[in-house]
Amino acid sequence: MNTVDEILDFAIEREQQAADFYSSLADRAQSAWMKEMLLSFSQEEMRHKGKLKSVKLGDRLLKADQHVQDLKVSDYLVDIEPTADISLQDALIVAMKREKAAYRLYSDMARTIDDPELKQMFLGLAQEEAKHKLYFEVQYDDQIMRDN
Amino acid sequence: MSLKDLISPFYVWQRAFEKPYTQKRPIEDRPGAPRYRGFHMNSEDCIGCGTCESICQNRAIDMVPVEGLEQRPGDSGLRPRFDYGRCCWCALCVDICTTRSLHLSNHYAWVTEDPDAFHFTAGTDPMPWNENSLGYRRDDDYHLLVHDRIEMEMLGPDESVRGFDEVMKGYTEEQAVLEADRCVECGICVATCPAHMSVPDYIRSVRKRDYETGLRLLYETNPFSSTCGRICTHRCETVCVMGYQGDPIAIRFLKRAIVDRVPAERYREILGDDVSDNGRTVGVIGAGPGGMSAAYYLRRLGYGVTVYEAQARAGGMLRYGVPSYRLPDDQLDKDIDYIRSLGVEVRFNTLVGRDVTFQSLLDTHDAVFLAVGLNQPSALRINGEEHPRVLSGLKVLDDVANGLDPGIGRKVAVIGGGNVAMDAARVSRRMGAEVTVLYRRRIEDMPADPDEIHESQAEGCTLVAQAIPVEIKPAASEAQVTIVWGEAEMVADDKGGRPRPVLQEDRMHEETYDCVIAAIGQGGQIDFIPSDYREQIEFKWNKFVPGDYQQTGLAKLFVGGDIANSRADAISAIEDGHHAARGIHRFLGGSADA
Amino acid sequence: MSTATDLLERFGTNYRISEVNEQKADLTFFKVPKDQAVRLLRELRDDAGYTHLAFLTNIDYIERGIFTLNYMLHNYDTRHTLGMHVDLDRDNAEMESIHNMWAQAATYQRELREMYGIRFPGSPRLDDDFCLEGWDQIPPMRKEFDTAAFSLARFYSRDGRGTEDPREHMKQQLYPTHTDDAPEGGN
Amino acid sequence: MFEPTPQVDLSSGKYLKLWQGPQHPGITGNMALELTTMGDEIVDCKTHVGYLHRGFEKLMERRTFIQNFPIVCRIAVPEPTFNEYLYAAVVEELTGIESPERAEWIRTLNLELMRLASYLMWLGGIGAAFGQGTVYQWTVTHRDYILDLFEEMTGARVYHMYIVPGGVRGRLPEGFEERCNDVLNRVEKLLFDVEKVLFNNFVFKKRTKGLGVIAPEMVDQYGITGPNQRAAGFVRDLRRDAPYLVYDQLEFDVITATESDAYARSWVRYQEMHQGIRMLRQCLERTPREGPFQARMPNVLHWEVPAGETYVKAECTRGEYGYYMVTDGSEYVRRVHVRGPSYTHAIALMEKLAVGTNIADTAGLMVSLHTYPPEIER
């Protein structure tokens, strides 16, 4: 990945993979509401993909100077193996952890690269993923940790 | 007559050289005294309770909607409009104003050619005196309302912690009348009560000591009055106008004051419930407050009602989730037994999906009401949680309700800040344990009732706020468990949600307990509904999204209770049941006026 | 206070005195039958020192079908006040006049005639208008006279008046389908 | 006792029917005297009222106990405070509510200030009735200074609505004492002026001495109270005989006279103004500055007063003012009767005293009896 476009293509592909992951999980889900839930996760990833596409077309810029809150909800939660009878709680844990992994990936890449333009792009992507993680963390906080 | 009498009057000439008394109005301005009772002003604190209108002896005040002002719970959206053709400037409206928003300015002269200008809405209409800072205000030491709540006798913490006796003793008749007397009967609370109970009316019946009328009013919207009179989340009290300058009316306890004074044997006679059969039947899944409420109102409409309950006793979360020191069993039974006495059949130990299929319910009954509640405790999902000394809060309460020993030991940590957590903590105290409650957020964020929080503290539970559990570890002894938790900082949610706790990794703690009780929330379970049907039903997150009258996309199925609303309390479930009963009646061709 | 009790006991032998209520140290109410009332008044004035008639008025007990006259007498020496009640039949209210005992009584009786319709035969100018020139309704102080209905019928209201009940308004705006008069066709 | 109307033959040409009023100089409110005259001598007088009837007693039966509080003051325009106090006192007695000491002092201060203001207006009236218009201008101005004090204390100049069942509606304003003392000094100075120009005035003396003499035996026959009674030699004053509020703690003299004519009555009132100033100075000094000024009240919106009846009276400028109240345990009063001294002074007494006087003196005679028509009709 040596150009901005290549990086963006990689990122766009990753979002597509994530969307596919949730929709295939939705296909297998036993519970109707989890099916719907997982499809909505998938749609969320497709939105991310769309956003990156418009970045690539130059319609919008990816900023990296914003501070995104890290609630650290997922840090100490156990890893979940997604199964057909996955619960809402577990699905959210999976989603948080996936976004966190993506964030780590881009952050690491930004650290290892020297080209300032590319570095900026990776940092921007990392921030995007941090935002996605925050979205799922907030949902987890609101839906699962009602009493906690 | 003397010469003096002749001369004396001429003394008056002396005055001719004195400064005249007359003031040159309007050339010289003469502002009213700082307390002058001039024209009306109303601040943004007004919530449109209409108490000013009630006290106005001249009927000079109308409550009118104001453009651009929306009604919301706790604010009727109405504002007082003054007719200066009738006003006598007595300012009783100012004295009685529950929010102290109404004042009189010291402005007393205003000339306009339009007589209708003297008919205006104070505060929102642009009047020349709106910015006046002087004028009549109620003195701080002068009251026409009683601001302090009548205290209820309760067991002291030393005593309450020793057993499961009911903590709140209930009002004596005199106390109840005095507390009821404080109510201004504005009715602002009715919109906020999930069941829209006739709060001002039944409070009046307490004041008049007319408990029969009171009971009838309660049962119009709530067949769990004995229960709700004790453990209702009393959202009504949060908007009570008396809360603006003092304590809100103890609405919940006044409900109890009615049912405490009517023996169960007299319910049927007083309520006059007619239960002639109309030949149709409704199945109800779950004998919790939602299901039983629907059963009651459906039965009153003549439906044959069968309730399918997985447990051995009715009441749902009220039975298994609320300890008896808050809600004694016999009081819950009083409500449930009355509903059953009308001919509602409850099939105990009947789990839909195991003992009877959902399909068969749809086949047998003309409609089905589902209110299974949330009974699946959420897992902590942190490392080590499968340790045998990690217990679920619901399980502990369930065991206690069933007379079993939950085996908690002497030193207990409870995780969570909801009512289940508080109850688990207080139950543990009653079993002699030393209790620490770990909660991720601040105490003021706790979803538990403030009363429960205060009482648990009084009973000796230690509340540790902003504590996030991160790991469970085995302890030296197998009978113990170690929990690792870290301190949290609260960060604001810029999207408007509640503040979120963020773990501070540099401030971690470790502590060993005999057991850890997790009570962080619950989820629902509806796997018994075949997937074909589920496709027709709308869900959001882990809940049903019912349409009007609690109906789902599966036309015969109506849902309610914790699994179908976000409030997750008994009174909302009760209203869902009532609302669904109306909806079912409409669906089956009856009128909604039930 | 014993003076009042003693006094009423003294008169009790000759008069049917009932419902004695010592409201406070210097004020006692009691009831006496209509036929003995004026005789007792005279005795109280001439023999017991109750020389001052503070006022004479009437209370309407519509639900019991009676008027209760109250003669308020004061004794300047003992500084004690007596309220003497006399029940009249509300439908045929007539009472002996005391205009010859106190000069101001005629005015009170004239007012009671106008405001309640009580007749005091022989009382001067009894049927002359007192306050209500041209009055064409029933005597207005009688409980069945409804002042609000009267003014609604006789006067017009200001345009643009009209009020909303906060509770009802919120119901219509915030949860209309939960009302019993919810619109049809919610489904 | 009751003297029948003399039968006069109006067509004889000897008599003239003359209406004085309903607009009277010197009288607060409207009232008419129907005079039958022979020459300028009055042979018969009939008082006509009804110009001010607002049916307060009936209105009060249809309002709650707190809603009555703003309307009672309107029963006697120049002296609303007595109505406020008596209404509050009668409700307090029937409910067992005790107004705190601080409120009792403030109430006394109010009542005496009101008495002074009312007497000032009357003083202007009696002066004007005998051609001394200057006195009227002086006294009404000084009354306005007192109304200024009421304005800052109560929020209104005339209908104060300040004495409420349970206490008073607010504390005394900052610096009130000083300003009140200042006004009292000014009024006192004025009174000495008035004494010079009115009471020492030979015209006034000549016209008022011997006018409208009330014989002592008439006092109880006509139910005469207040200065009219004291000018006839009776030492009777409710403030001393049946002390209410804090009158038992105040030093004052009961003023009396013996001549019982218009001059004596005026002189009694004039001296009572000095006594009023004396009492007011004591009140200003002794009114507590701390402590509650309102008793603990129930929720007034649905205030049920226990069944009962009572009569509470006070010494107003004109005599015995009283509230008789009957309650039946509901939120509404069963019956209120307002006993105003003008009821007998302006009708039975005036009709009697006017006979034999001349037309020019009727207004002065009327004012010397000090009557307020609104309290007759209520």
Residues in B touching D64 (Cβ below 8 Å): 57
Could you give the CA distance from residue C160 to residue B116 in angstroms, rounded to a whole number?
A: 9
Residue with token string 């004026």: C38
Interface test with B, best of C147, C159, C169, C177 (most B CBs within 10 A): C169
Res D129 pLDDT > 90:
no
- What SS3 class is residue B294? helix
Q: In this structure, are B390 and B487 located in the same domain?
A: yes
User: What are the Cα distances from residue D58, in Å, to C87, D63, D331, D338?
Assistant: 20, 9, 15, 11
Instruction: Please name which of B105, B102, B142, B157 lies closest in space to residue B127, comparing C-alpha atoms.
Output: B105
The reported pLDDT for the residue numbered D2 is 55
- What DSSP string runs through chain C? -HHHHHHHHHHHTTS--EEEEEEETTEEEEE--HHHHHHHHHHHHHHS---EEEEEEEEEEGGGTEEEEEEEEEETTTTEEEEEEEEEEGGG-B----TTT-TTHHHHHHHHHHHH--B-TT-TTTTS-SS-TT--SS-TTSTT--HHHHHHHHSPPPTT-----HHHHHHHHH-GGGSTTPPS---
3-state SS, residue B11: helix
Please name each of the domains of chain C with its CATH number: 2-129 (3.30.460.80)
Whole-angstrom distance, CA of residue B304 vs CA of residue B518: 40
Interface test with D, best of B2, B142, B147, B254 (most D CBs within 10 A): B142
Q: Is some CB atom of chain D closer than 8 A to the CB atom of B183?
A: yes
Tell me, what's the pLDDT at A56? 79
Cβ neighbours for A141, distance < 8 A, ≥ 6 positions apart: A71, A73, B497, B500
* Boundaries of every domain in chain D: 56-377
Average pLDDT over residues D100-124: 93
Question: What confidence category does residue C160 fall into, taking pLDDT thresholds of 50, 70 and 90?
Answer: confident
Per-window interface: D 126-185 vs C, CB < 8 A: none
Q: Which pLDDT value is given to residue C179?
A: 55
Of B144, B173, B198, the residue at which a domain comes to its end is B144
Across the range C139-144, mean pLDDT stands at: 93
Structural domain of A132: 4-144
What is residue D360's predicted lDDT score, i.e. its pLDDT?
A: 87
**Domain contains B359:** yes
Specify which of A110-119, B173-182, C169-178 reaches the highest per-range mean pLDDT.
B173-182
How far is Cα B407 from Cα B400, in angstroms, rounded to an integer?
A: 10
CB B438 within 8 A of CB B462: no
Identify all chain D residues contacting C142, using CB atoms and an 8 Å cutoff: none
Name the domain count of chain B. 4
d(CA B118, CA B99): 24
Average pLDDT across chain B, whole number: 88
Residue numbers of the domain that contains B502: 377-522
**pLDDT given at position D181:** 93
CA distance B265 to B571: 24
Q: Given pLDDT bands bounded at 50, 70 and 90, which one contains residue B154?
A: confident
Question: Where do the DSSP E strands lie in B460-527?
Answer: 462-464, 467-474, 481-491, 500-513, 515-518, 522-523
Mean pLDDT of D94-116: 93
- Write down the mean pLDDT value for chain A: 79
Q: Tell me which residues of chain C have a C-beta less than 8 Å from any C-beta of chain D.
A: 21, 23-24, 26-27, 29, 51-55, 57-60, 70, 72, 76, 79, 81, 83, 99-104, 106-108, 124, 129-133, 140-141, 143, 145, 147-148
Q: Is residue D64's pLDDT more than 90? A: yes
Chain A residues within 8 A of B416 when measuring between CB atoms: 147-148
Tell me whether residues A75 and B520 touch, CB distance under 8 A.
no
pLDDT grade for B294, boundaries at 50, 70 and 90: very high
For D5, the closest chain C residue by CA position comes to: C124
For position C139, what pLDDT does the model report? 93
Does position D258 have pLDDT exceeding 50, yes or no?
yes
Q: What is the pTM of this model?
A: 0.85
* Mean predicted confidence (pLDDT) in D227-239: 92
Dist CA B34 CA D155 (whole Å): 8
Q: Is B228 in contact with B282 (CB distance < 8 Å)?
A: no
pLDDT tens digits for range B516-551:
999 888 888 787 888 788 778 887 777 888 888 898
From chain B, pick out residues whose CB is under 8 angstroms from the CB of A26: none
Q: Bigger pLDDT: D6 or B239? A: B239
Q: Do chains D and A touch (3 or more CB pairs under 8 A)?
A: no
Cis geometry, peptide bond prior to residue B194 (ω within 30 degrees of 0): no
Final residue belonging to a domain, choices B487, B522, B557:
B522
pLDDT tens for D360-373 read 888 889 889 998 88
Partner chains of D (3+ C-beta pairs under 8 Å): B, C
Q: How far apart are the first and last CA of chain B?
A: 93
Q: Are B371 and B290 in contact (CB under 8 A)?
A: yes
Question: What does the mean pLDDT of chain C come to?
Answer: 87
User: CA-to-CA distance for D164 and C23, rounded, in angstroms?
Assistant: 22
Local confidence band at D279 (pLDDT 50, 70, 90 cut-offs): very high
Provide, rounded to the nearest whole percent, the portion of chain A with pLDDT above 90. Answer: 0
Q: In this predicted complex, what is the ipTM?
A: 0.82
- Looking at the structure, do residues B485 and B580 belong to the same domain, yes or no? no
Q: Is the pLDDT of residue B185 over 50?
A: yes
pLDDT of residue B157: 82
Encoded tokens for A1:
């990945």
CB B294 within 8 A of CB B369: yes
Q: Residue D295 pLDDT > 70, yes or no?
A: yes
pLDDT at C186 over 50: no
Task: Considering only the beta carbons, identify the residue of D64, D71, D202 that sits closest to B5.
Answer: D202
Please name the amino acid found at residue B475: A
Strand partners, B471: B383, B484
The bridge status of strand B411-415 relative to strand B515-518 is parallel
Q: Assess D358–C contact: CB distance below 8 Å, yes or no.
A: no
CA distance to partner chain B, nearest, from residue A135 (Å) = 11
- Same domain for B362 and B392, yes or no, is no
Of the residues D311, D318, D334, D338, the best mutation for testing chain C's interface (the one with the most C CB atoms within 10 Å of its CB) is D311
Residue type at position D81:
T
How many domains would you assign to chain A?
1
Distance between CA atoms of residues A49 and C140, nearest Å: 84
pLDDT (tens digit, 9 = 90+) per residue, C44-92? 999 888 999 999 999 999 999 999 999 999 999 999 999 999 999 999 9
Alpha helices in chain D (DSSP H): 56-61, 65-72, 80-95, 101-129, 133-154, 176-194, 202-208, 218-221, 227-230, 238-241, 262-286, 342-343, 350-354, 359-369, 373-377
| Mean pLDDT score, D43-56 | 88
D17 to B20, D37, D39, D363: CA distances (angstroms): 43, 6, 11, 16
Q: Pick D1's closest partner by Cβ from C27, C76, C101.
A: C101
Residue ending a domain, choose from B501, B522, B543:
B522
Helix (H) or strand (E) holding D45: strand D41-48
D236–C107 C-beta distance less than 8 A: no
Helices B173-181 and B251-259, packing angle to 10 deg: 140
Look at the alpha carbons of B581, B583, B588, B590 in this order and tell me if their dihedral is positive or negative: positive
Structure tokens at B569: 């309390």
Of B221-225, C37-41, D27-31, D87-91, the one with minimum mean pLDDT is D27-31
Q: What is the predicted pLDDT for the residue at C63?
A: 93
B50 contacts in C (CB within 8 Å)?
165-166
Provide the terminal-to-terminal Cα distance of chain D, rounded to the nearest Å.
Answer: 27
For position A104, which CATH number holds? 1.20.1260.10
Write down the mean pLDDT value for chain D: 90
H or E, element range at A56: helix A32-56
Inter-chain touch D301–B141, beta carbons under 8 Å: no
Name the amino acid, one letter, at B537: I
Q: Do B527 and A70 touch (CB under 8 A)?
A: no
Strands (E), B275-394: 281-285, 304-308, 345-347, 367-370, 376-377, 390-392
Q: What is the pLDDT of residue C184?
A: 41
In the block, residue with structure tokens 């929306």: B70
Residue B256: is its pLDDT beyond 80?
Answer: yes
- B594 within some domain: no
Q: Looking at the structure, do residues B330 and B363 belong to the same domain, yes or no?
A: yes
Note the pLDDT tens digit of each residue in A88-143.
Answer: 788 888 888 888 888 888 888 888 877 777 788 778 888 888 888 888 888 888 77
Average pLDDT estimate for A80-85: 75
One-letter amino acid of B323: P
C187: pLDDT strictly greater than 70: no
* B550 lies in the same domain as B420: no
In a domain, B483, yes or no: yes
Report helix, strand or coil for B370.
strand
- What is the per-residue pLDDT for C185? 37
Q: Which single residue is written with the structure tokens 């009209």?
A: C162
In chain D, which among 206-225 make CB contacts under 8 A with chain B? Answer: 206
CATH topology of domain D56-377: Cytochrome-c3 Hydrogenase; chain B (1.10.645)
The token duo for A79 is: 């890893």
Sequence letter at residue D271 = Q
Shared domain for B171 and B258, answered yes or no, is yes
Q: Which residues of B touch A69 (CB under 8 A)?
A: 491, 500, 502
Q: Taking the CB of residue C6, how many other CB atoms lie within 10 A of it? A: 10
Higher pLDDT, D175 or B497: D175
Report the alpha-carbon distance of residue D134 to residue B316 in Å, rounded: 89
Q: Identify the band that residue C1 occupies on the pLDDT scale cut at 50, 70 and 90.
A: very low
Tokens 């009751």 map to which residue? D2
**DSSP codes, D269-313:** HHHHHHHHHHHHHHHHHHS-SSS-SB-----GGG-PPPSEEEEEE
pLDDT at B347 over 90: yes
Query: What is the CATH classification number for the domain harbouring B57?
Result: 3.30.70.3270
Q: State the Cα–Cα distance between residues B396 and B89, nearest whole angstrom.
A: 62
* Sign of the torsion angle spanned by Cα atoms D222, D230, D140, B16: positive
Asked if B200 and B247 touch (Cβ cutoff 8 Å), the reply is: no
Where is pLDDT greater, at B452 or D276?
D276
Q: Which of D58, D223, D334 sits opposite C102 (nearest CB)?
A: D223
Query: Between chains, do B520 and A36 touch, taking CB under 8 Å as contact?
Result: no
B4 within some domain: no
Q: Touching check for B63 and chain C: CB below 8 Å?
A: yes
How would you class C173 by CB atoms within 10 Å of its CB: exposed for 0-12, middle for 13-18, buried for 19 or more?
Answer: middle
Percent of chain B residues topping a pLDDT of 90: 40
The pLDDT of residue C180 is above 80: no
Q: Which chains touch C (3 or more CB pairs under 8 A)?
A: B, D
Q: Note whether B touches D: 3 CB pairs or more under 8 A.
A: yes
The whole-number pLDDT of residue B115 equals 84
- Determine whether the interchain pair C165/B579 forms a contact, defined as Cβ–Cβ distance below 8 Å: no
Residue B498 and residue B570 in one domain: no
**Banded model confidence at residue D138, pLDDT cuts 50, 70, 90:** confident
pLDDT score, position A78:
80
Residue B305 sits in a domain whose CATH number is 3.50.50.60
Say whether pLDDT at B1 is over 70.
no
